[in-house]
Amino acid sequence: MTKTRTNKKVLKALIDQDWEECTITELARRAGLSRIWTSNAIHGNTQSRSAREAIAKALGFSYEHLWQNNRAA
Helices 49-59 and 24-31, interaxial angle, to 10°?
100
The size of the chain, in residues, is: 73
Q: Model pTM greater than 0.85?
A: no
Domain range summary for the chain, segments of one domain joined by +: 8-67
Q: What is the CATH number of domain 8-67?
A: 1.10.260
Cβ atoms 7, 67 nearer than 8 A = yes
Q: What is the pLDDT tens value at each position of the chain, 73 positions in all?
A: 455 577 788 877 877 777 777 788 999 999 999 999 999 998 889 889 999 999 999 999 899 988 876 554 4
